[in-house]
Structure 1
Amino acid sequence: MLRRLTAGLAAAFLLAVAAAVLIRAAPVPAALLDADPLQARTPLARPGYLVLPAGTAETAGGDAVSPVWPLPPAELLDRLTAIALAEPRTVLAGGDPARGRVTLVQRSRLMGYPDVIAVRALPAPGGATLAILSQSRFGGNDWGVNRARVERWLAALTAAAAPVTAPGAAAPGSAARAGEGTP
């Protein structure tokens, strides 16, 4: 009996290790790496958080409205990218900064689950604004991680360069998602 229990526990442990290795080694699908936050619509197909510029959030049902910063789009994108890359387990995975677009991947601390963050910087009256789509690669619930990440990055950006317009909380039509992702 003890031998069977030991063998079962060993098999379960090996399966857990194999799953962890597969998750860390699994490639991020091109569709996620090429995601355009301006084309995203809520509810999202994967757990995530969507911030859109004023004027687009109302029609797309984003989770929040992006403020306008008194910076050119390229500088705004560079600053946000630097803030993101300063965090652990975050890498630049693609995009074209010259065209105002980057894609980042940030992995969770314990299991290494990848979250994909697509960012676009756009010109706006008085400066530039952002469209951000942060999505989980695995799982059915992100426990608010995508929202917390985007809000943290936007707060750091706002501390470095005060926006011309105040950051928007929830976008119109996103009330159904307000409690999503909380434990």
Structure 2
Amino acid sequence: MRSSTLKRLLESSRTSTLIWVYLSAIVGILSLVGMAEVPYILVCLSFLFAGLFMDYKQTYPIRRLFLNTFGVAMVLYFGSQLSLDNLVGPLSNLLLVLLGIKFLEEKKPRDMYQILLLSLLCISLATLHNLSLSFLLFLLVFSFLSITSLVFINSYRQSQKDYQRAEVFFYYSKVSLALFISVFLFAIPFFVGLP
């Protein structure tokens, strides 16, 4: 009984899409380590695990109106802390809190796109703090995961089928890898030629 439920869950197009989205978000969160305050990183990670549990159970007890109100309050709170001397800290804390709030909502394709956008903003903000060669690897991992997430979100949004076969999953993974390699190969001439 339990193995059939797990198999059905893993073959769900929504679940496979959420796996990629969560992996992208984790990379975005980890990119802010050292910039954001530790309590906000822990809050975001705890919201992420709560969101995973809610997605597994497919129950979302917290109303969206409350989450939106909380999000606006956090924007105002961190916005009041912004200054030219202290720009990166409040922004990174704000991004983590907003990302955490998105984990607590039911994840429709629109919400998945928003999670990816917030994760991209986290990575973008992290480039202000970390320009080392090791960060390039971090950026490449995020690029691959986010491109794969976009492919799976678009597939899920268009089909909305309950289950997908393993062949379909691997096909979309190959398409994502091809897109990632193409983006990387086209980025090199643009990087060299545009300046």
Same-fold call, TM cutoff 0.5 = no
RCO comparison, higher one (Cα < 8 Å, 6+)? 2
Which is helix-richer, 1 or 2?
2
Identify the structure with the greater strand proportion: 1
Q: Normalising by the residue count of structure 2, what TM-score does the alignment of the two structures yield?
A: 0.29
